[in-house]
Every structure is written in C-alpha cells, then in structure tokens.
Structure 1
Amino acid sequence: MDALNDFVVFAGDKLWTWAVLPLLLVLGLYFTFRSGVVQFRMIPDMFRTLTNKTPRDESGEPQSVSAFQAFTISAASRVGVGNIAGVGTAIAIGGPGAVFWMWTMAFIGGASSFIESTLGQAFKVRDKEGFRGGPAYYMQHGLKARWMGIVFACVLILCFPLSFNSLQANTISATISGSFGGEVGWIPWAVGGVLAVLTALVIFGGLRRIASVTQSVVPAMALIYLLLGLVIVGMHFDRLPDVFASIYTQAWGTQEVVGGTIGAIIMVGAQRGMFSNEAGLGSAPNAGASAAVTHPVKQGLVQTLGVYFDTFLICSITAFIVLVATPDLADAERGIVLTQNALVSSLGSWSNILLSVIIFLLAFSSIIGNYYYGQSNIEFINPKPIVLTIFRTVVVAVVFLGSIASADLIWSTADGIMGVMALVNLIAIGLLSGIAFKLLRDYSEQRRAGLDPVFTRARLPEVTGIQCWEDELSVTGPIPVQGEQRSRRG
C-alpha cells in the first residue's frame, strides 16, 4: 500500500509540475492581459453584482438561486480544510515566502475564474429547479464535444463529491477525536452518523435548500475565523511588520527554509493556492451557472470575487495565525498541526475545541458545495430522477465511510484526479475564451451607456449553442403587474 501511495504521489506531482501549473500560469496571464486585467479593474462591479436582485418568473418566484447564493455555494466548496491544513503545509515547506506566491497565483487565477464562470453562465440550461451548467455544458454546446463533457463530468464526480467529501468527513472525525484525546473508538462512528444525516437532510432538499444552507453557514464560518485571526494577530501585533517583511523577502529565496529554494517556494505556494481557490479547475462554474442573472459576465465577476474571498481572506488569516505565533519555522510540522500549535500557544488548550467547531463548519460546507458540483454533472450525463437519487445515496454513504476510514491514499489519488480535471477544463476555456471576451465587451459597452447590462443571444448571433438567453423578457422576468416601466439604468 505504501508503494502504491508513493507512486500516486509521484505521478500527481509530475502532472501538476509539468502540465497543470504551467498551463494555469500561461493561460492566466493571457486572460489577464487580453481582458485588460478584468480581475482588478472591475472589483467595484464584483461587489455591485453580488447583491443584484434575482430575476423572477411569471409567478413571481425567483428563476433560480441568486448571485449571492451561487457565490456561497462555490465558496462552500472552495473554503475547506485546505485553507487550514494546506496553508500550514505550504508554510512548513516553503516558509513565509510561499504566502506571496499563493497571493500572486490567486490574482492571476482570478482572470481564469472570470473566463470559466462567464462561459458557464453563457451555456447554461434550464431545469425544474432553475438553471444548471458548468464545463461539461460549455464543452458540449460551445465546443460541440459532448464526449469531452462526459469525460470531464466523470472525473469531477470521482474527485469532488466522492473523494474530497470522504476526506472532509475524515478531517471532521479526526479533529473531534483529537479534541477527546484520540482514544475514544466510538467517536468516528458517531461523527459519521451525524454527518451522514445532516448531509442527507440538505442534499435531498435540492438546489434551493443547498443555497439556503450555504448562504447562512459560509458568512458565519468566515466571520468566526476572521475574528479568531484578528484576536491572535492583535496579541502579537508587534510581530506584524516582521511577518510582512518575511513574506516578501523570502518569496525570492533570499533566506532559504526547509527545502526553500526559490523554485520550491514558488511551486508549493502556487500549488497550495490553486488547490484552495480552484481558479481555472472547472469546479466553480458549476455553481456560477446555477444563478439567475441578467448577463453572463455578472457571475464571472462574482466567482472571481470568490477566489479573492478564499485566498486573500481565509487563507491569509491562517497564514497570519501561524506566522505571528510561530517565529521559528525550523522543524515545523506540516498541515493542520502547525495551525493547531499556533492556536494553542496563543490562546491555550481550549482553542482546540474552537478549532474543531471551525473545521466542522469549513468541512461540512465543503461537503454540500462538492455535492452540488456532482449533481450538476450527474444531470449532464443522465437527467433521470432515479439516477440522481442513487447518486445522493452514494454521497451520504461516502460521507459516513470517510469518517471512519484511513485517508492517505485517497488524498494522493484525489490530487492527481483534480489535475486531470484541470487539464481538460483549461483546454476548453482556452478554446472558448474568445466568446468570454465578446461578452465582456458587450457588458462594458452597456455599463458605459449607464445601463444595467442585459444579454440576449441576439447580441452575439455568430455564437451558436447558447441554450438560454432567448429574449430580454426571459432574462429579466416579466414586467410587474402594476405596469411600471423597468429601468435598466445602472
């Protein structure tokens, strides 16, 4: 088993090192310059569109989930134990300089996130709950390659709702067991049972229930973790200038740490950052496509904000917790232990209980977000209700089994599978990026005219395969009964 795990780790590292990360970097830079640095210059629009009113149908009900709810579904998947364990690993291997490269790749990846989520919206389809879409859908309708969409969908299902959900459940179980000394044999079984029931209650309720849970859990989770980080940083405020200095100076290998040549620092920072914020990997567009918005670019902007929320807020909180409380990283343990030690040294042993609560919120929200990614792709392959019911049952079982299983081989395998998924998606968005740039131009022209942008497929008649966006009425919803004129002034 150890030999198999070593081989999987080796193969996964080579895939990420020689294929995925270079392609992410090259395409991210291309999208950045071609879009006029959309991920920076349109930050005000990101916040503006996050709170846009949701278009309604003829009965007055929302057409689908709101822009904010789609944001929280994707954030639920992005923000998980990787924000605690992954950042700790990056710092233990690459030192403080790895944080700089996490930030850098998040900024570059923001452009990739914009492209993929804009395309996800453009090629979404309608279903009984509202909308669904994602890479599999733009591969079929945009590239006319359903086979490619099926390959992507199968890889994503294996990776996110199955492998990653078992790992999130395993982390919750291990953390709670650790809070009780790690010797209580019944705890993993109890945790698994509770998690399975909670997961079933949410996912069998459909998209609307998933959205309602994530829009409550994600902000609460972020607020608790932010307050915790501010308390610890405040306790070590005098170290903050040194922390910032070490992040920027050690990013260039001027002070080598454990294996910290500049190449190793860049690689570990970039890789851990991409694992966390998922920019360009093809996961977030599944959530972004579910939103009812009046222009595809709006959800592209919202999902770019999601990358920043994950890396510049949640990952940075972890980094500062570790770095202000652990000045000496020599012999630092990797993963979540480094963060736990930083918490205990600052707040005392009771903080392990608090960390268990935070990890529960992080991991459970990820289970819900990961499940929805799988649902969207299961329905792409086969939309029959019985297939979805079987899938939901399997996910619940995986959550239970993950709570009591060993996770080493699953972690290694999932990392490699995610690399394959990223490669397929990056090829697709590279080929379809011209459509996203046309949509951005259309959005910008309407904004300059003082309008709240509305897209219909007649505005891009040369683009085939768009399933929705038939006319303005279907996009914005019916005019209110009172006969008021709808204003498009932004």
Structure 2
Amino acid sequence: MQSVVDFLNGIIWSPVLIYLCLGAGLFYSVTTRFVQLRHFREMWRLLLSGKSSEKGISSFQALAVSLSGRVGTGNIAGVAAAIGFGGPGAVFWMWVVAFLGAATAYAESTLAQIYKEEDEGQFRGGPAYYIEKCMGQSWYAWIFAIATIFACGVLLPGVQSNSIGNAVEAAFGSGAMIETAIGTFSFAKIATGTIISIILGFIIFGGVKRIAHFTQIVVPFMALAYIIIAFVIILLNISQVPGIVMLILGDAFTPMAGFGAAIGWGVKRGVYSNEAGQGTGPHAAAAAHVQHPAQQGLVQSFSIYIDTLLVCSATAFMILLTGAYNVHGGGEGAFLIQNLSAEIGANGPVFTQMAIESALPGLGKPFIAFALFFFAFTTILAYYYIAETNIAFIRRKLKISGMMFVLKIILMVSVFYGTVKAADLAWAMGDVGVGLMAWLNIVGILIIFFMSKPALKALEDYEAQQKAGVTEFTFDPVKLGIKGADYWEKKYHGKTAPKSEGTDGNTPAKSTV
C-alpha cells in the first residue's frame, strides 16, 4: 500500500503542481492588485460585523469553519515534516505560499459566494458548483465532487486522527498491545480512535449549524492558547530569534536539504496547511450570509494569514529555537542535521512536543496532545462538511437515498482506522487527496478567470461601492455580465429572497448565534 501511494504522490506532486500553486497565487495577486494587502483593514471590519440568517451562517462562523479545516495537523505535524524533509528553508516557502495563496483564497471563495445555491434551507456552494455554472462543464464538476468526497471522506480524516493518536501515545504511554482483525495496536490508540469517532458522530449528525457553533468557540480559543505558548518560548529564547530568521532565509536558497526539496516540502505542506487553492475553503465560504460575494472572499483571504503566518510560524520558531528537529538527507537513515534520535519520525507531532517540553518541562507532550485533539478534530468536522456539500451537489441529479448517512459512517470508520495506522501511510494518503483537489480546483479557477473574470468583476464592483460610500452593499450579477449567479439574480431583482434575510437593507436577520 505504501509503495502504491508513494507512486501516486510522485505523479500528483510533480514540480508542475508545485509551480502551479505558486503561479496561481502570483497570477491572482497581480490581477487583483494584491488584494491581500490593499484590503487588510477591510478584512478585519468584515470579520467582526457579519450576521447569520436562517439559511446562512455569519462571516465569522464561516471563517471558523474554514479555519477548522486550515488550522489542524498541518500546523503542528506538517510544519515539522516540512523542516524534517526540506530543512529550515522550507518555512520560507510556506510563507510565500501563504502570501500568494491569500489572493487565490479570495478568488475561489468569492466564486463560491457568487454561484452558491439554496439547498434544503441552507446555502451550498464550492468548486463543483462554480465549475458547473461558470465553465458549463458538468463532467469536470462531477470529477471534482467525486474526488473531494473521496479525499475528505476517506483519505484526509485519517491524517488528522493519526496525529491525535500519536500525540496521545507520546504523552500518556501506549498501554497494553491489543490484537485485532486489522493488526496489533496499542490500547491508547484504540481508545483514542473510539472516543474521537463517538464524539464526531454526535456532532456530524447535528448538521452544519452544530458544526459552526462548535468550531467558532473551539478554533479561536485553541489557536490563541497555542500562539501564547509559542510566544512564551520565543521570549525565553529572544536572543536567538534574529539567527533563526537568517537561518530560514538563508536555507531557502541553499542546498542544505536541496533547493528543490525546500521549495517542494514548503509548498506541499503550505498548501496542506492553509489549503489555498485546494478547493476546501470555498465550501464554508459559500455557506456564509453576506451582502456582497467579495466580502466573504476577503474574510477567507485573511484566514490564510491566521493559519500560516501565525500558527505555522509559531510551530516553526518553537522547533528551530529549541533545536528539536532532524533534517533527512537523500538516503535511508541519512541526516543532514541530526539533533534528535534517528527513530523519531518527522511525519508526526513529536518535534513540536519535544520543542515545548525542552523549553517548558512537563508541558510539551500533554499540551500538544490536547491542542492536536481540538485542531485535528475540528479539521475532521470541516472535511465532513465539505464531503457532505459535494454529495448534495451530486444528489441534485442522482437521486439516491441514504448517501449522507453512508458518508457519516465511512468518515467515522476512516477516523478510527487512521488513528491506529502508521503515520507515513496516513500522510501519504492525505497528500494524494490534497493533490487531486488542488489540481482540479486551480486549473478550474484559472480557466474561469479567462472565460469571464467573475471574481475580479465582483472585487471591482465592491470597491466602486466602497468609494461611493454606501452603507448597504448590493450585488447585481446581470449588470456585471456574470451569468449563472441564480441566487444573487433573484435576490437583487426581488423575485425571491425573503425580507428576513438581513443585511440587504430590510428586516434584520434572525441570529442563530
């Protein structure tokens, strides 16, 4: 299985995809005149001012749901892997991906808002929807939907739960070994997998509103706690910070771990962590209730900064400041830098646990186990919502009952299986899922741009209304020459969209917060 998955990764994560991710971010940065910088202040305002409605969640809730997908194992174990296989310079390329990816996130999330639909009393949208409506290619949309259901329902949840299992085992011990039909595993991992699956089932059977309420509380709290711990460790080693910054910048362009390896691992783990261009964020973005599609695009763009420039950087500095890392060389068992035992794998949270443990003895292992549980668990919830949305897309044409129930069961099984399996296989399978979605989505949003530029038109329209000083923004896709935006057409021209929807200047929305 490992060899098959590694072979697929070699094809999917070729240098072409690496440069496609960077190129798409640069392209959208230039065409939007660096929207991620120009509208930074507006991002803050929108983040704190949105309301929810009976059909949609608020901008902050949508940010929390998408952040629950972005802030996860990739921020703790993924950064460790980037350093372990790509050297300290990989961190620089994670920053580059974050900065450029913020523009990509704007584009894909704005598209999701423009082409969203109402489905059984809630908003749905994402790449499958905008590919079908804007490109007019149902077959391509179906390929994305199927690939996403497979990736988010089967492959990616195991990566998150695997890191939880490894962190719990490292923090509290493995316990007795238990023989099962699928292998011999520690009691700690079996118990952890069982508990995660039960809690997961309780939440996902409650729907998107329950997911949104859970994540809007947990994600900000855990991210803040994690950053505070990192800040304390940085302060304890403040004299070393300039040297670490120079190490990151210098190694980004030197052959310590291979110039290509630094870029490759930085981009791969950067995309895995912040998900810009991957096509996951747009699903939560489409569920938000906003006055104008560009507003949610800006909020989602800001989420990339939170994920990579804050949380990922916090992990990187803790690891590098404490020296709790190895850098693998070209051959098996070869190291370019070896500060830790050779048995400690880079594909896991152990680097981060040891970094905190060395600076704050007695805190590192249990804290990371605790943080990983919430980070990874909320990411699994986001994956479920994404898979559910794509099943809803397919269900519009393929009327098969019980598809959502089957997804819930498969996800719970995948989470348990991922908890007990080897880390390398779990991460490799996750990379396959991420790579497939990134290929399909980035190609899609680039084609859409050259066809009709809807995300750019939405930005220009929003900026024009800002300049005019309006207090209630509106969006008329017909005036902008955007076709297929059925929800917004009906909303603007008053054919549907009840007055209780809130921020369109009518009756205030009924809050679900």
Q: TM-score, normalised by structure 2?
A: 0.87
1:442 aligns with 2:455: no
Instruction: Structure 2 unaligned segments of length 5 or more: list them.
Output: 177-185, 327-336, 509-513
SS of equivalent to 1:471: helix
Matches within 5 A, 1:364-403: 364-382=377-395, 386-403=402-419
Pairwise CA distance, 1:205: 0.7
Contact 2:174/2:187 (8 A) holds in 1 = no
Pairwise CA distance, 1:211: 0.3
Q: Which amino acid aligns with 2:231?
A: L
SS of equivalent to 2:14: helix
Q: Which amino acid aligns with 1:102?
A: M
Q: Which amino acid aligns with 2:467?
A: R
1:456 aligns with 2:476: yes
Matches within 5 A, 1:33-44: 33-44=30-41
CA distance in 1, matches of 2:10, 2:42: 37
How many residue pairs get aligned? The number is 471
RMSD (CA atoms): 2.2
Q: TM-score, normalised by structure 1?
A: 0.91
The corresponding residue for 1:218 is 219
CA distance in 2, matches of 1:137, 1:146: 9
Matches within 5 A, 1:24-423: 24-54=21-51, 56=53, 62-184=54-176, 185-253=186-254, 256-257=255-256, 260-326=257-323, 330-332=337-339, 334-335=346-347, 336-382=349-395, 386-423=402-439
The corresponding residue for 1:6 is 3
Instruction: Structure 1 unaligned segments of length 5 or more: list them.
Output: 57-61
Pairwise CA distance, 1:464: 1.9
Change (3 A) 1:11 1:32: same
Change (3 A) 1:21 1:475: farther
Q: Which moved more, 1:240-249 or 1:355-364?
A: 240-249
CA distance in 1, matches of 2:39, 2:498: 23
Change (3 A) 1:232 1:144: same
Pairwise CA distance, 1:72: 0.6
The corresponding residue for 2:491 is 471
Q: Which amino acid aligns with 2:474?
A: V
Change (3 A) 1:475 1:318: farther
SS of equivalent to 1:131: strand
Q: Which amino acid aligns with 2:299?
A: V
Pairwise CA distance, 1:44: 1.0
Contact 2:109/2:285 (8 A) holds in 1 = yes
Change (3 A) 1:87 1:198: same
Cα deviations across residues 375-418 of structure 1 (Å, max 9, x unaligned)?
10011111566221222222223223333334533432331232
Cα deviations across residues 420-458 of structure 1 (Å, max 9, x unaligned)?
221111121012121111111111100110114221333
Pairwise CA distance, 1:163: 1.3
Q: Which moved more, 1:350-359 or 1:304-313?
A: 350-359
Q: Which amino acid aligns with 2:468?
A: A
CA distance in 2, matches of 1:387, 1:263: 42
Report % sequence identity.
36
CA distance in 2, matches of 1:267, 1:479: 45
Pairwise CA distance, 1:100: 1.3
CA distance in 2, matches of 1:471, 1:411: 43
Change (3 A) 1:39 1:477: farther
Pairwise CA distance, 1:478: 4.3
CA distance in 2, matches of 1:484, 1:377: 32
CA distance in 1, matches of 2:324, 2:144: 43
CA distance in 2, matches of 1:424, 1:193: 34
SS of equivalent to 2:55: coil
Pairwise CA distance, 1:323: 1.3
CA distance in 2, matches of 1:406, 1:129: 41
User: Which of 438, 441, 463 is residue 425 of structure 1 equivalent to?
Assistant: 441
Contact 1:457/1:471 (8 A) holds in 2 = no
SS of equivalent to 2:49: coil
CA distance in 1, matches of 2:432, 2:41: 36
Change (3 A) 1:485 1:210: closer
CA distance in 2, matches of 1:140, 1:171: 36
